[in-house]
Amino acid sequence: MQPASPDVPSSFRLVVTGGGTGGHTYPALTAVRALQARMASVGGALDVLWIGTAEGLEARVAPAEGIAFTAVPTGKIRRSSNPLKMVSPANVRDMARVPLGVAQARKAISRFRPDVVLATGGFVAVPAGLAARMCGRPLVLHEQTVRLGLANRKLASSATRIAVSSEATLPLLPSSVRPAAVVTGNPVRPEVLAGRADKAVAAPGLAGFDRRLPTLYVTGGAQGAQQINGMIREALPWLLERANVIHQCGPGNVEDLQSGGAGLPDVFAGRYFVTGFVGPELPDILALADVVVSRSGAGTLAELTALGKPAVFVPLATSAGNEQAHNARHLQQAGAAVALEGDVSGDRLREVLEPLLTDGARREAMAAAARAHGRPDAADRLVDVVLAAAAG
């Protein structure tokens, strides 16, 4: 249930903590931007301090956005299914750093005197989250995945509110913290929702596309994914009979995949665009795409469901807590995606893609199911939770 929009104060002070990876950093940044816009709409002033680590992505993102940043030490817990391996020298050494991080975060929070501390996960969030409780400041957690991540599980009992991205998370929460939970969704960058398909088609590399065919966008993330690249290589001639393909394969894989497509007939070759990296043009490519093949990180799910894109997810098996598999299965159960696990061969990819590429009604049904799970207003919902926590 969405909280009622609280009154916007004339000034607001926010501490943000979380990061390490884009999955924790960009939802926080999107929420900050949304809060800035909310404050600007009433002529209010917003002061933000980001507490993170010197090595994390947030250390680059926050200053680039004009956000004050302070680094604190923290410790990363290296997970293992064997409890004995959890007590590794690296874990013991890193966890010994947490008290120092808490002390430094407490000092920063005491000086800044925030109205709210917003924690978006990652091991970096633990010191500042604990310090928020010590300083008596409201703590709002945001969880991007279906199950609470390790950092948020540690902080849940200290939280004023726990913002989750899915209704499916609620029954998984401990009963003691469930009353603090509210479903907001996972904030999606506004620019992702504003893409233009016609702009993508006008790009030089896509000049040979056949607009009578659906367009498949394949991505393995910034560095690519060998597992996904291999499936596409195996299935490429079959795919190009039925679709245009935009393949973001990672900078180190472009030559190999281009050479693999060199023997294709000209009509097929014109329908295949391979690139190492997709940057500012991503919103336009997503607008053009009829079907997406990708990993199933929380940010990807948030974007694709907000856009209503049918997807075949290939979860990263080594993701923390197997969260990508849980994410993909959740949408598959809702008819909003296909989770491709186990046998991930080209044959298996063809099997799951054929009905989506050849049956427009099937695509639209999956798109509608995905859209039903999307929350394009997630950033505004999270801002509502933050403002409400400050108001008590």
Higher-pLDDT residue of 257, 159: 159
Q: What is the pLDDT of residue 269?
A: 86
Q: Decide if domain 191-373 falls under CATH 3.40.50.300.
A: no
Q: What is the pLDDT of residue 163?
A: 98
**Which range, of 82-91, 305-314, 334-343, averages the lowest pLDDT?**
82-91
How do residues 314-331 score in pLDDT, each as one tens digit?
998 877 778 899 999 999
Residues of the chain with CATH 3.40.50.2000: 11-187+376-391, 191-373
How do residues 147-198 score in pLDDT, each as one tens digit?
999 899 999 999 999 999 999 999 999 999 999 999 999 999 999 999 999 9
Q: How confident is the model at residue 88 (pLDDT cuts 50, 70, 90)?
A: low
Helix (H, G, I), strand (E, B) or coil at 261: coil
How do residues 44-77 score in pLDDT, each as one tens digit?
999 999 999 999 999 999 999 999 999 999 866 5
Backbone Cα Rg of the chain: 22
DSSP label at residue 273: E
Q: What is the pLDDT of residue 78?
A: 47
Q: What is the pLDDT of residue 59?
A: 96
Q: What pTM did the predictor assign?
A: 0.88
CATH architecture of 11-187+376-391: 3-Layer(aba) Sandwich (3.40)
Query: Which amino acid, residue 135?
Result: C
Q: How confident is the model at residue 265 (pLDDT cuts 50, 70, 90)?
A: confident
Structure tokens given for 194: 């504003």
How does 221-248 read in b/e, with b if 16+ C-beta sit within 10 Å?
Answer: beebbeebbebbbbbbebbbebbbbbbb
| CA angle at 214 for the pair 249 and 145, rounded to the nearest 5° | 55
DSSP label at residue 6: P
